[in-house]
Amino acid sequence: MTGLDFIALLPLLILAAATVIVMLAIAIHRCHALSAALTFVGLGASFGSLWISACRVPCKVTPLLLIDRYSLFYMGLITVASLVVVLLSYGYFEKLDGDHDELYILMLVATLGSAVLVSSNHFISFFLGLELLSVPLYGMIAYTRRRPLPLEAGVKYLVLAAVSATFMLFGMALVYGALGTMRFDQMATQLVLPGFDPWLVIPGLTLIITGFGFKLALAPFHIWTPDIYQGAPAPVAAYVATISKGAMFALLLRYFYQIEAQGQAPVMTVFAVIAIVSMCAGNILALLQDNVKRILAYSSIAHLGYLVVAFQASGQLAIIAVGFYLVAYFITMLGAFGIVAVLSGSAGDADSLSDYRGLFWRRPVVASVFTLMLFSLAGIPVTAGFIGKFYIVAAGASVAMWSQIIVLVVTSAIGLFYYLRIVVAIFSDSAGSADAGPAIALPGSVALGFLTAALVFLGVYPQPLLGLIRSLPPG
C-alpha cells in the first residue's frame, strides 16, 4: 500500500470515517436531524472524493480491490442513491416515534459494503463486501421493529441472505479448487489453459450464479422479494431495490466480463433461462397484486430480467445498456418508493392501491411525479426508462438474441397493464375529501425533485451519460 493507493481508496475511507463519526455523534448527542445531516455530508464528501480518486485510476489496491473508472462510476451511483435515501428516510422516520439515528449508521455501512463490491477483484473482497452490505440490511429492514411486518421481513431477509451467501461460498470454493486462484483477472488466463476440471468450474459458477440470483431477486430465486419490499419501511425498500441490487449487478458484469464467461455456452444458457423466467414471472405475477410495494417488487424482478438480457449481449453495447439501464432503474425505483415514503404517515406505509385513488386531484405534483416514474418503468418515451429499454433491445438485437427480445417485448406489453392500474387509480375520482393531507417535508421534496429532473433530462438528452458510460471498461 502506498500513498497513491490511499488516494484511490478515498471514497471508501470517507464512508468508513463517516460511519464512525455518526456513531460518536450519537453517543454525544442523540438528534435525528444531526445524524441525518452528518450522514448526508459524509456521503456527499465521499461522492466529491470520486473526482480526486479519478486522477489515480486504474489502480490495484492490494490484490483485493481494483479501483478504476468503472468502479468509481458505480460508487458514484451508489452514493447518490444513498443520498436520496437519506433525504427520504429523514422525512419518513421523523413522523414515527422512537430513535432513528442508528439507521444511518447501518446505511453507511451498507453503502460501504456496496462500494467494496463494485471495486472488488477477488473472491475475498467480494464476500467481504457482500456481508458488509447484507448484515446492516437485516437491521434496516426490521428497523421499525414494533410493527409485525418489518420484523418478519427482517428475519426472512436474514435467512435468505445467509442461504445465498452459503451458495456463493461453496461456489467460490469449487472454482478456487479447480483454478487455484481467487483473483478475477487471473481466472481468465486459467480458464483458457487446459487441465482444469470443468466438473468443478461449471457447478461452481452455477452456485455463484444462484447466489447472485438470490441477491438480485431473479426468478426462480425471487420468492422473498415481495414480502421484504412490503414489510420493509419504504426508504429501506428503495435501498434494497436499488443499491443492493445495483452493486451486485455491477459486480456480476465485471466478474463475468473478466473471466470471459460470454464464451461459455452452459453459463450463458443458464442466464438466458433466468432472464426469460424473470421477465415472465415478474410481469405476470405483478398483475395479481393490489399492494403498490408488492407491484414494485414484481416489477423489479422483471426489470432485473431485462438487465440480464442486456448482460448476455457481450461487447460495448451491452456495457452501455446495462450502465444506462441501471441508472434509469435507480432513478425510477427510488422515485416510486420515494413517493410511497413521502405519502406514508405514522399509521403505516401508504402501500395499498386505494391510498392512491384520486391522488392527482389531491396532490397533483406528487401524483405527476409518480405517473412519470411509472411511465418510465413501462418504458414510455421522454423518460429515462424508455432510452434504457431501447438500449437493451438494441444490445440484444446486435447479437441476435431474438427469443429473449420477443419475450421482453411481449412481457413489457403485459407489464404495461399493472403500471396503468396504478395510473388509473391515481387519476380516478377521489371518493373521499379533497383534503391534501400534511405537506411533504423539504428533504423528501428535494429528493423527488432531483429524481424527476434526472428522469426527464436523461429521457430527452441521454448523450452526456451515454458518453460517460462508454468510457468505462469493466475489465
Bridge partners for 280 per DSSP: none
Maximum alpha-carbon separation in the chain:
74
- Smallest separation (angstroms) from another protein to the CB of 147: 33
Q: Name which position in 178, 405, 422, 448 contacts another protein (CB under 8 A).
A: 405
Q: Name which position in 121, 376, 412, 445 contacts another protein (CB under 8 A).
A: 412
**CA gap 74, 327 in Å, rounded:** 9
Stretch that binds another protein, among 4-12, 243-251, 269-277, 411-419 (CB under 8 A): 411-419
Q: Where do the H-state alpha helices sit in 181-264?
A: 184-192, 198-216, 225-231, 234-239, 245-258
Residue 457 binding another protein, by CB under 8 A: no
Residue 393 binding another protein, by CB under 8 A: yes
Other beta carbons less than 10 A from residue 345's beta carbon: 12
- Smallest separation (angstroms) from another protein to the CB of 245: 25
Nearer to another protein, 123 or 375 (CB): 375
Q: Name which position in 264, 291, 352, 428 contacts another protein (CB under 8 A).
A: 428
**CA gap 67, 12 in Å, rounded:** 10
Residue 386 binding another protein, by CB under 8 A: yes
* C-alpha cell, 308: 440480464
Residue 159 binding another protein, by CB under 8 A: no
Residue 416 binding another protein, by CB under 8 A: yes
Residue 199 burial class via C-beta count within 10 angstroms: exposed 0-12, middle 13-18, buried 19 and up = exposed
> Is there a contact between 31 and 38 (Cβ–Cβ < 8 Å)?
no
> Is there a contact between 447 and 373 (Cβ–Cβ < 8 Å)?
no
Give residues with Cβ within 8 angstroms of 23, minimum separation 6. 105
- Smallest separation (angstroms) from another protein to the CB of 118: 24
Nearer to another protein, 41 or 424 (CB): 424
Residue 430 binding another protein, by CB under 8 A: no
Residue 449 binding another protein, by CB under 8 A: no
**CA gap 144, 125 in Å, rounded:** 31
Site pattern 343..382 for another protein (x: CB under 8 A) = ------------------x--x----------x----xxx
* C-alpha cell, 411: 412481457
- Smallest separation (angstroms) from another protein to the CB of 394: 5
Chain residues binding another protein by CB under 8 A are: 320, 361, 364, 375, 380-382, 386-387, 390, 393-394, 397-398, 405-406, 409, 412-413, 416-417, 420, 424, 427-428, 461-463, 466-467, 470
